[in-house]
Each structure stands twice: as C-alpha cells, then as structure tokens.
Amino acid sequence: MLHGAAMRHPRPTLRTFAAAWLLAIAGAAAAATPAASDEEAITALQDAYARAVVPGEQADLHRELLATVLQRIKRSHATVVDLPAFASAAATVVEELPAGTGDPADVFRKAINTALRPLDPYARYIDPRALAGERGEATGSFVGVGIEVQASEGLVQIVNPIPGGPAARAGLRPGDLIVRVDDQPVQGVPLADALARIRGEPGTPIAITLRRAGLPGDFTVALTRDTIRRELLRWSMEQDVLVLRLSSFSGSASGAVAQAVAEASASRTPRAVVLDLRGNPGGLLREGIRVADAFLSQGDIVSLRGSGSVLQRTWQADPDELLPGVPMVVLVDRRSASAAELVADALQFHGRATVLGQRSYGKGSVQSTYSLGENKGGLKLTTSLYHGPSGETVQRAGVAPDIELLPPAGGAAAPVRDDLAPAVQPGRTRAHVPTSRCAPAPASDPVLACAVAYLLAGGAPAFAAAGTD
C-alpha cells in the first residue's frame, strides 16, 4: 500500500522541507525549479498525511486526492499561490496527530480547509453530500432550516430567516447567534462546516441552540429540515412606480425580471422602476450580467481578471433594453454582494440608475466549483475578480450609493466589515438622508419609501428639498 511505502521510505517533514526551501531560495546557489519544489511539497504532504491516518483504501484515495487538489489550486486560483507554503499550512493539521489514528476523510477535509482559509475566505473542500446540496442551492432550492447566516464573534449569526421556512416558523430572528447544532459547539468552526451540519435530508430533526440579545441564557429550538425554495422575485406597484424585489441571482433571475416587467407594463408603462437588491447575496455570474444587460443598451458591463490580473473576458450590453428612458433606482445595503454589486455598479456607472441605500458588502470575486470525481466531493475556488465598467473592482470596496439612506436613531443596521478598502467611485455619494425624512408610505419599509419619493420628486435636488424639515 502507499501508506506502507511511505513508512518504508521516510522523508523530511513538510515543515522541515518548507524551511529548507526558503533557505534555498535565499541562496544564490538554489538549483531547484519552482515546478520541482511544488512536486516535492506535494509529496511531503502526502507522506505526512499517510503517516497520520488510519491505513486502508480511504487513506490511499485521499492521499492521491491531495495531489489533485493542490495542483488544481495552483492552476486555477485567481491569485498566484505559493504551493510549498500552502502545503506547509495543511501539514499543521496532519502533523499534530499520533501516527495511524486520524480518520482519512476528516483529516483530508480539515487539512485542505485550514490551508485555504487564509488564502481565500470563499474557497473550501466540499464533501460529496454537501456538494449535492450546493448544486441544489444554485437553482434556488436547498435542504435546511431556512436561514441566511454570517460568521460573527466566532459563532454563526442569523442574518435573515427565510419566510415560510422552519426557522421563521419557529420564531428565529435576525441577530440570533447559533451556539450549538445537535449538541456540537460551533465556536471557531468554519462557516462552511457549520452550514454542512445544519444541512441534511428533508424531514430529519435538528436541535439548534441560540443566544439572543436581552435574554439571560442560551435556549434550544427543535426544528425539522425541509426543502427551502426561495421566492426569487416579487413585484408590486407603489404610486405608479414598479418595484422589483430580487432576492438572489440563482435560477433564472433575468427571466423573472423580464416577466415581471412585461406583466406590470401590460396596461401601461410604469412611471419609474426600483430594483431592490437589499440583502441580495449574489448568485450566478451569468444572471447578474443578464439583469444588468436588460436595463442597458450599450457599454461594458463587467470584465473578469484571473491570476496576475490577466484579462479573461469582457461582457458588453446589447441594444435591447427594458423600460428605456424610465427613471430607475437601485437599492443596496451592506448585505448586497457579488452579482448584486455587479448590477448596481454597471447601472450606476452608465447613468442608467441612481443607487440609494448603504455602501454594499464588497465581494467582487467569482467562485468556481470543480468536481474531484464520483463520490470524491468538490473544490470551490475563487477563480476571478470582476472589474466594473470603470476598471475598478468592488472586492473589499463595495459600491458607494449616490444617496446614502441613514437608519433612524436607534434603528438596527447591518454590521460594517472591518476590512473594507475605499469604495468604488467613493466621491459618488452626494447626500446623506435619514429615512425618517421620507414620505411615510409604504410605512413598513422607509427605505423603499425614500426610493419612491426620490423618483416621484424627479431627482436629487427636489428630493432633498422635499425632505428638508
């Protein structure tokens, strides 16, 4: 077996190799080529892994899979990856284990994800079961309890319960912190791994322990997993203004937008349109491009750049346009991300829409999922950064609104990322308007009320004057 061969022909540990590799690079006499260094780094990690796990068929399979994964990362990641350093980071997991004791699949997953974490917050190894769930989510449905989450304070914070899902029916709230899933603590667990615990088969039970602000202690809620189907788009008319609320860019978002516009325009053309992308986490790149293209008749939409900022592809708008000449607002907030930012950035740059709300999240990267073979799972990697028509990327920058809408005093707001760089076109923001100054209707949504008031006022000066106390 490969495990036995590794034991008969021991090699230096990966940490020793990495240190030697760095010294060799520093010396003028370094003779090894980068390719040879990569190969030796992979082999050293494979041998360390083989020593650490229980020998057998699974150990052999995952030992070979290590090489496949590292080579894919080197070849496809959007940044230039130092493979010996990456392999050394993975080795920190396997070298801590007593020889021959680790579960092959578990050690493999932890080693790869530990090394990926500092390189790319969106990259991870996905086990076969979780991979099937991710494919379903890309179509707009998945199995779980119906929550949108983010990492917070080393735990998992609920951003939004999805209406109609098990979590919403049980009364889970935005801001609740998930402490345990079925008695397994999630403190310090990577977000992807915590989500994998929450996912499962429809109809299976799950117990989630929560921590809620204002309550003296943690409490546990029993839920039953279900198939969650997002309502992709809802539309309504607010005082002759068409409001399109797009929850994500999964499925056929562009088709849903076109159908809603057709239905709303059947009797007469709307006076104005609001594209509401608040809380929209993104989704499929192609759907973001199609939605932006639907409201543009010319100009660049987005370009992709890979490792070394090499241009991969640029998309441009075609002449067809929905609701040409109709005034438009795009609403964003701190949870609008990825494809939602692509759309807001393109429409803002070309002057097709005014962006209202808050500075967006700042995720301008594209992830690709690579299958590793039948029953071997997959690898999700950031493969490109996208750049808007200005040539800038929203990565760690976000889209700055033309008019920032401020929550009322004491009102809740999503937390601001602490790693944001200057926003794309930071000078775009022309005014800062408290939502309390907007017209009261629709009273349940003051941000939407501001968007409608802006459009009915005919522009920023009249809107600002109308809102003056």
Task: Identify the CATH number of the domain in which residue 181 sits.
Answer: 2.30.42.10
Among 203, 199, 220, CA closest to 211: 220
**pLDDT of 48:** 96
Q: What confidence tier does 407 reach under pLDDT thresholds 50, 70, 90?
A: confident
State the DSSP code for 308: G
**pLDDT of 166:** 94
Same domain, 79 and 22: yes
Is the pLDDT at 427 greater than 70, yes or no? no
Same domain, 286 and 416: yes
Mean pLDDT of 254-260: 96
Alpha-carbon distance of 393 to 136, in angstroms, equals 29
Same domain, 110 and 79: yes
Lowest mean pLDDT among 56-60, 74-78, 130-134, 219-223: 130-134
Q: What confidence tier does 35 reach under pLDDT thresholds 50, 70, 90?
A: low
Among 162, 197, 169, CA closest to 281: 162
Sign of CA dihedral 455, 456, 462, 468: negative
Domain endpoint, select from 164, 195, 229? 229
Domain endpoint, select from 229, 246, 263? 229
Q: What confidence tier does 33 reach under pLDDT thresholds 50, 70, 90?
A: very low
**pLDDT of 28:** 36
Same domain, 221 and 305: no
Mean pLDDT of 32-44: 76
Alpha-carbon distance of 16 to 293, in angstroms, equals 53
**pLDDT of 440:** 58
**pLDDT of 342:** 97
Alpha-carbon distance of 332 to 174, in angstroms, equals 18
Can you give the CATH number for the domain in which 435 is found?
3.90.226.10
* 166 domain-assigned: yes
Using an 8 Å Cβ cutoff, are 408 and 375 in contact?
Answer: no
In the chain, how many domains are there?
3
CB within 8 Å of 276: residues ≥ 6 apart: 243, 244, 245, 246, 331, 448, 451
Tell which wins on pLDDT, 84 or 140.
84
What angle is formed at CA 278 by the lines to CA 275 and CA 279, rounded to 5 degrees?
Answer: 140
Mean pLDDT of 435-459: 80
Is the pLDDT at 399 greater than 90, yes or no? yes
Q: For residue 10, give both structure tokens.
A: 């021991």
* 126 domain-assigned: no
Same domain, 417 and 376: yes
Is the pLDDT at 468 greater than 70, yes or no? no
Q: What is the DSSP string of 192-233?
A: HHHHHHH---TT-EEEEEEE-TTSSS-EEEEEE-EEEE---E
**pLDDT of 63:** 97
Lowest mean pLDDT among 2-16, 192-206, 279-293, 334-348: 2-16
Distance of CA 234 to the CA centre of its chain: 22
What is the pTM assigned to this prediction? 0.78
**pLDDT of 421:** 54
* 326 domain-assigned: yes
**pLDDT of 350:** 97
Q: What confidence tier does 331 reach under pLDDT thresholds 50, 70, 90?
A: very high
Give the structural domain span for 424: 233-466
Same domain, 344 and 454: yes
Lowest mean pLDDT among 58-67, 294-303, 403-412, 449-458: 403-412
Lowest mean pLDDT among 201-210, 230-239, 398-407, 442-451: 442-451
**pLDDT of 433:** 86
Q: Is 57 exposed, middle or buried (0-12, 13-18, 19+ CB in 10 A)?
A: exposed
* 128 domain-assigned: no
Mean pLDDT of 143-171: 87
* 135 domain-assigned: no
Alpha-carbon distance of 12 to 229, in angstroms, equals 51
Alpha-carbon distance of 305 to 341, in angstroms, equals 17
Question: What percent of the chain has a predicted confidence (pLDDT) above 70?
Answer: 83
Q: What is the rounded average pLDDT for all residues in the chain?
A: 85
Q: For residue 122, give both structure tokens.
A: 């969106």
Q: For residue 365, give both structure tokens.
A: 């990267």
Three-state DSSP class for residue 279: coil
* 369 domain-assigned: yes
Same domain, 274 and 386: yes
- Which string of b and e fits 140-155 if b means at least 16 CB within 10 Å? bebbbbbbbbeeeeeb
* 133 domain-assigned: no
* 96 domain-assigned: yes
Is the pLDDT at 255 greater than 60, yes or no? yes
Domain endpoint, select from 174, 194, 229? 229
Same domain, 202 and 319: no
Is the pLDDT at 20 greater than 50, yes or no? no
Mean pLDDT of 255-269: 95
Distance of CA 77 to the CA centre of its chain: 16
Same domain, 355 and 413: yes
Is the pLDDT at 385 greater than 50, yes or no? yes
Task: Compute CA distances 354 → 93, 275, 287, 342, whole Å.
Answer: 49, 10, 21, 14
Same domain, 185 and 254: no
Same domain, 333 and 437: yes
Same domain, 114 and 174: no
Q: For residue 115, give both structure tokens.
A: 């090394």
Per-residue pLDDT tens over the stretch 74-123: 999 999 999 999 999 999 999 999 999 999 999 999 999 999 988 988 89
Three-state DSSP class for residue 278: coil
